Amino acid sequence: MKINTRKGAIMDTIRLKALAKINISLDILGKLENGYHELLMVMQSINLHDTVIIKRTIDSTIKLSTNKMWLPTNHKNIAYKAAQLFFKETSTDGGAYIDILKRIPISAGLGGGSADAAAVLVGLNKLYKTHLTKKELMTIGVQVGADVPFCILRGTALAEGIGEKLTILPPIPQTHILLAKPNVNVSTKSVFREIVVDSIKEHPDTAKILLGINTHNKKLIYDNMYNVLETVTTARHPKILNLKQEMLSCGAINSLMSGSGPTVFGVFNNKETCILASEHIKSRFNLKEVFVTTTYLPNTRKEK
């Protein structure tokens, strides 16, 4: 590789996929003294992704660009924060130019921002040869966002605490996933502010989901999907319930809101049925962001 030593010149480049996530289940166990909620979640990476390109520079500044012109490109962007923290925590001299091609819907409950931040940490670790372990990267990541450690880990995991305590689970058998985001954005903070822990009447049966994962029983996994935040977000946006019902009518095994919403995902056994459902729902609800994808299987593809 030819290196131009002129100040600010690009030394090398890395290109990574920042994978979205869905919540197979999301439960709230209580509220912590610091104001955060104690969570119990089964999280799953999916193959819908942003593309994050990082260029290592001699200049010690961080510059960020994205195809979404209205997104912040400074310290208000979680990926920018991740880069700042990487250089601070590793005492590394240098800088980075980060370009993010967004595909994952924004403010959608799919962890797009966290995935970008995770990709930045992983990419800078490789570019600067700092040799941080995955666990060390996750320790840095949680400081910028609770979902960042999972987005570094990827795959299938049980998440506890505020989402940062992760237990790796066997991969869920590959499943076709339909994602449909209503034409609204949802603030995660506002949803959690509104939830009243003592008023939660129904909780997911996490034990059954874990049994299904460990025995590769897709029916047991998906029959028990549940998200306690749905009651809050659907009260604001009833169309979420309509989307769930429509996915079931189109042949989904089950359907659920991911995270704090508003994105709804449907689980399908058949790719063709999933595609037909996506076309119907996009037209029926006049939606801009509808995607057909699959669950991510880390053992079947080269990790980047």
pLDDT tens digit sequence for 82-97: 999 999 999 999 999 9
The pLDDT value given to residue 236: 93
Same domain for 147 and 253? no
3 in any annotated domain: no
Which residue shows structure tokens 């809050």? Answer: 232
pLDDT tens readout for residues 246-271: 999 999 999 999 999 999 999 999 99
Asked if residue 197 and residue 148 are part of one domain, the reply reads: no
Residue 170 per-residue DSSP state: P
Of 168, 196, 225, the position where a domain reaches its end is: 168
Residue 21 is among the residues annotated as catalytic for this protein: yes
pLDDT surpassing 50 at residue 140: yes
Average pLDDT, the chain: 93
CATH for 209: 3.30.70.890
pLDDT of residue 3: 35
Checking if the pLDDT of 6 tops 80, the result is: no
* Domain-embedded: residue 5: no
pLDDT band at 125 (very low <50, low <70, confident <90, very high): very high
Structural element, H or E, at residue 78: helix 78-90
Percentage of the residues of the chain whose pLDDT score is greater than 70: 94
Q: Are residues 24 and 152 in the same domain?
A: yes
Please report the pLDDT score of residue 189 as a whole number. Answer: 87
Question: For position 133, which CATH number holds?
Answer: 3.30.230.10
| Confidence grade of residue 187 (pLDDT, cut at 50, 70, 90) | confident
Mean pLDDT of 38-54: 98
Q: Does 2 map to a domain? A: no
Does 10 have pLDDT greater than 50?
no
Q: Is residue 4 situated within a structural domain? A: no
Q: Is the pLDDT of residue 118 over 90?
A: yes
Per-residue DSSP letter, 93:
-
Say what angle helices 78-90 and 112-127 make with each other, to 10 degrees.
Answer: 30
Structural domain includes residue 26? yes
- Closest residue by Cα to residue 250 from 283, 220, 214, 299: 283
Residues 52, 139: one domain?
yes
195, amino acid identity = I
pLDDT band at 299 (very low <50, low <70, confident <90, very high): low
The model's pTM is 0.92
- Asked if residues 110 and 104 have their Cβ atoms less than 8 Å apart, the reply is yes
Q: Using CB atoms within 10 A of its CB, is residue 136 exposed (0-12), middle (13-18) or buried (19+)?
A: middle
Closest CA to 243 of 107, 108, 68: 108
Answer yes or no: are the C-beta atoms of 246 and 165 closer than 8 Å: no
Catalytic residue among 147, 181, 239, 244: 147
Q: CA-CA distance, 137 to 115, in Å (whole number)?
A: 13
Instruction: Indicate whether 131 and 197 sit together in one domain.
Output: no
What number is the average pLDDT over the span 289-303?
A: 80
Mean pLDDT within 192-202 = 90
Q: Decide if 159 is inside a domain.
A: yes
Asked whether the beta carbons of 228 and 198 are under 8 A apart, the reply is no
Range of the domain at 208: 176-300
Name the residue with higher pLDDT: 19 or 33: 19
Catalytic site residue from 21, 55, 181, 244: 21
pLDDT surpassing 90 at residue 167: yes
20 in any annotated domain: yes
Query: Which pLDDT belongs to residue 298?
Result: 86
- pLDDT (average), residues 278-303: 87
Q: Give the 3-state secondary structure of residue 267.
A: strand
| Same-domain check for residues 92 and 161 | yes
Q: What is the pLDDT of residue 8?
A: 45
Same domain, 84 and 120: yes
- Give the per-residue pLDDT at 107: 92
Identify whether 198 is part of a domain. Answer: yes
Q: How many domains does the chain have?
A: 2
Q: Are 56 and 128 in contact (CB under 8 A)?
A: yes
Same domain, residue pair 93 and 193: no
Is 70 exceeded by the pLDDT of residue 179? yes
Which residues touch 89 (CB under 8 Å, ≥6 apart)?
A: 140
pLDDT at 4 over 50: no
Please compute, for residue 96, the number of CA atoms within 13 A of its CA located in the half-sphere on the CB side.
31
Question: pLDDT per residue over 231-242, tens digit each?
Answer: 999 999 999 999
Same domain as 137, residue 21: yes
Q: Tell whether 155 and 191 lie within a shared domain.
A: no
Q: How far apart are CA 7 and CA 30, in angstroms?
A: 52
Confidence of residue 132 (pLDDT cuts 50, 70, 90): very high
Say yes or no: 137 and 75 in one domain. Answer: yes
Q: Per-residue pLDDT for 5 more than 60?
A: no
Rounded to an integer, the average pLDDT of 136-144 is: 97
Residue 1's pLDDT band (cuts 50, 70, 90): very low
3-state secondary structure of 147: coil
pLDDT at 73 over 70: yes
Which of 168, 185, 220 is a domain's end point?
168
